[in-house]
Amino acid sequence: MRTEIFDYIIVGAGSAGCVLANRLTEDPDVSVLLLEAGPGDKSIFIHMPSAFAYPLANDKYNWYYHSEPEPFMNQRAMYCPRGRVLGGSSSINGMVYIRGHAMDYEGWASYAGLENWSYADCLPYFRKAETRAKGGDDYRGDSGPLHVSTGACKNPLYNAFIDAGQQAGYARTEDMNGYRQEGLGPMDMTVHKGRRWSTAMAYLRPALKRPNLQVRTRALVARVTFAPDTSPPQATGVEVVNGHRTDAIRANREVILCGGAINSPQLLQLSGIGNPDALRGLGIRVVAPLRGVGENLQDHLETYVQYACKEPITLYSAMNPIAKVKIGLEWMLKGTGLGATNHFESGGFIRSEAGVQHPDLQYHFLPMAISYDGSAPASFHGFQAHVGPMRPTSRGFVKIKSVSPKEAPRILFNYMGTEQDRKEMRAGIRLTREIFSQKAFDRFRGEAVSPKDDVQTDAEIDAHIREHAESALHPSCTCRMGTDDMAVTDGSGRVHGVTGLRVVDASIMPDVVSGNLNAPTIMLAEKMADTIRNKAALPRSQAPFFIHPAYETQQR
C-alpha cells in the first residue's frame, strides 16, 4: 500500500467537487487531489445538449441507482440516476438552470446555526458563479465560469404554453431566476455556444492547467481514514480501490465529500459515521454516532400531462434516423440547430392554492410527448408539461447494505407518502389541464394522452400518479446542516463529531429548494469555498424578491 499526501482530498468530481477543485487551487500554496469514480467526459452524447437522454439512461456515465419498491407508488422501484463521470450529474442532467425561490433560503436561515444561508447571503454567490448570455444585473452574473443561456422559444408551442398561462390568469415572468420566480416564461439552460456547460467545462477544465491540482478518474473511494486514539476523531485521508490494490492517500488539511445525496451518506456510513446500531450490525467500527446520516432524503416527483398535437410541428419530426443525422451534422459543424438545446425552453412556477406563500408547483414544457430519459420513445406528434410539487413532506433514507463500496445502498424515497404531497400533485394535474384548455392551444390541442380525460376523481388521479409519476432527479438533504440531534453537518459543512472532514453537495441542504438542484449546488460550493479558505464572505445582497401581495386569498 503506497501513501501520497495532499492538503485537500475532494471525493467526487460533480457539480460541487469541480467548483471546489477550481476555487481551492486558486491558492498556489495548496495541493488538491480530486477523485472521481467514473470516467472522463469525452462522449459526444454528454456535450450535445439534445442528446442528454443517452447518458441519463445507461450505466456508463451514471451510478444507475434504483430505489427499493416504493410503498405508495404501487411498489415500483424508481430510477435514480446519479452522475459517475467528470462533471457528475451536471454532465448527464437536463441542463435546466433554476436557482429556487428566495424564500427557500430564508427557510434555511431560520434553522439554528444556519443564519448566514439567507437569500441575501446566497444571491451574491449565484451571481459570482454565472455569466448570463443576456448580461448581468442585481440578480444575474456576467463574469462567472458557468455560462447560462435562455431558450429562444422558436417552436410556437413554447410561447403557446406561456400565453395559455396568462390566459388562465398567471403572470408572465421574463426571468424566473431574478426578481420574480412566480409565473410562466422562458427558461434558462447551462448551454454555451451550443454545448453543455457542465461544471467540468466551467470549473475543472480551466483549473487543470494548475500544477497544484491532480485529477484521477475511475478512483473508487472505499472509506475515509481516521487517526487512532484522537478525540474527537481526526480524518487523515481516504482509501482508494484500484483493481485488487487499495491505496492510502493522506490529507494534511481536510477530506471533502462531494458525492451527492446518495454517495456521500454511503461513504460516511462505510467510514463508521452513522447510526451506531446499524453500523455495528454490519461489523463497522463506530467513529461518530450520527443517526441522521442518510436520513431526511428528499426529492421532487413529477408527472407528465400529455396531449396529441394537431399540427406536425413537434420534435417527433426529429426522431427518425435521417433527421437525427442532419441534426447531429449541423451541431458538429456549426454548434446550432435542434442539437444545441435541451428543449426545455419554457416553463414556470405557480402556487397550488390560496394561502401558499411562494410557488409550490414547477413546470417544464416540452414540445414532444416522451419520457424524460427517452425510455418510452415518442410515437406521435404531441406535447407535454412536467409538473410536480416543490416542497414534498415525504421523507426517505439511504442505508448501506454491506461493507463493500461497490454495492449500491438501499434507497427509499417514500414518494407520495403524505396526504399533503398527494393533494399538491392532484392540484398540479388539474391546474395543468386548465392551462392546456386555454385559447392559445386551440389550434394545437388534440386528445388527452396521459392522463386520459376520464381520470377525474381524487382516487383516479392518485392511481394515475402511483403508476406513472417519475423522479425529477433532485435527491438531497441526507447529510443536512444544522445543530439538532439529527443534523450531520454544521453550517460550514463540517461533519459533527469529527475533525478534518466536510461534506459539500446537495446532501447538506436542510430542505430541498423549489426548483432544479444543479444551480443551488454550484452556489453552495462557491460559498463553501470561501469558508474553507477563510475568506470573507461576499457582501450581502439588498435585492428584493417577489411575493404575491394577495397570496393569502388568491391562488393566482
pLDDT digit string, tens, across residues 129-177: 999 999 999 999 999 999 999 999 999 999 999 999 999 999 999 999 9
> Helix (H, G, I), strand (E, B), or coil: what is residue 428?
helix
SS3 string, 249-272, reads EEEEEEEEECCHHHHHHHHHHHCC
CATH topology for 3-532 is FAD/NAD(P)-binding domain (3.50.50)
Q: What is the mean pLDDT of residues 298-323?
A: 95
In percent, how much of the chain has pLDDT > 70? 99
User: What dihedral angle (degrees, nearest 10) is formed by the CA atoms of 120, 472, 15, 198?
Assistant: -110
Closest among 302, 515, 553 to 429, alpha carbons compared: 302
| Bridge partners of residue 172, in order along the sequence | 184
Total Cβ atoms within 10 A of residue 433: 17
pLDDT of amino acid 228: 87
**Which of 21-25, 316-320, 537-541 shows the lowest mean pLDDT across its residues?**
316-320
300 counts as catalytic: no
The answer on pLDDT for 2 being more than 80 is no
What confidence score (pLDDT) does residue 242 get? 81
How would you classify the pairing of strands 183-186 and 146-150?
unpaired
pLDDT single digits (tens) 176-221: 999 999 999 999 999 999 999 999 999 999 999 999 999 999 999 9
Average pLDDT over residues 37-47: 96
**pLDDT tens-digit series, residues 401-459:** 999 999 999 999 999 999 999 999 999 999 999 999 999 999 999 999 999 999 999 99
Q: Could you give the 3-state DSSP secondary structure of residue 543?
A: coil
Amino acid 408 reads A
Average pLDDT in the 80-96 region? Answer: 97
- pLDDT at res. 335: 93
Q: Look at residue 21 and give its three-state secondary structure.
A: helix
Using alpha carbons only, give the angle 461, 463, 467 rounded to the nearest 5 degrees: 115
Pairwise CA distance, residues 382 & 366, whole Å: 9
Please identify which of the residues 147, 474, 496, 548 carries the catalytic annotation: 474
Coil vs helix vs strand at 343: coil
Q: What is the pLDDT of residue 370?
A: 86
Could you report the per-residue pLDDT of 7-26, keeping only the tens digit for each?
999 999 999 999 999 999 99
To the nearest 10 degrees (0 to 180), the angle between helices 419-436 and 458-468 is: 100
Angle at 497 between CA 494 and CA 499, to 5 degrees: 55
Residue 269 to residues 101, 276, 401, 403, Cα–Cα distance (Å): 32, 9, 10, 9
Helix (H, G, I), strand (E, B) or coil at 228: coil
Asked whether the predicted pLDDT for residue 1 surpasses 60, the reply is no
**pLDDT at residue 250 greater than cutoff 90:** yes
Question: Of all residues in the chain, what percent carry a pLDDT higher than 90?
Answer: 95
Q: What are phi and psi of 236, to 5 degrees?
A: -115, -15
pLDDT at 132: 98
Query: Average pLDDT, stretch 71-91?
Result: 98
Once rounded to an integer, what is the mean pLDDT over residues 487-507?
98
Q: Would you tell me how many other CB atoms lie within 10 Å of the CB of residue 276?
A: 16
Residue 48: pLDDT band with limits 50, 70, 90: very high
Helices marked H in 359-478:
419-436, 458-468
∠ Cα 50 140 123 (to 5°): 110
No. of helices (H) and no. of strands (E), the chain: 14, 26
CB count within 10 Å of CB 472 equals 24
Please, which pLDDT band fits residue 244 given cuts at 50, 70 and 90?
Answer: confident
Closest CA to 302 of 470, 468, 154, 172: 470
Cα–Cα distance for residue pair 490/486, rounded to 1 Å: 11
Residue range 532-556: mean pLDDT, rounded: 98
Q: Kind and range of the H or E element at 113?
A: none
Q: Residue 373's pLDDT is what?
A: 63
* Grid cell digits, residue 257: 465529500
Q: Tell me the average pLDDT of the chain.
A: 96
Q: Is 412 helix (H, G, I), strand (E, B) or coil?
A: strand
**For residues 209 and 219, is the Cβ–Cβ distance under 8 A?**
no
Quickly state the pLDDT bin for 390 (edges 50, 70, 90): very high
Cα distances (angstroms) measured from residue 464 to each of 302, 370, 401: 12, 17, 32
List of residues 6+ apart from 223 with CB closer than 8 A? 238, 239, 267, 270, 271, 272, 405
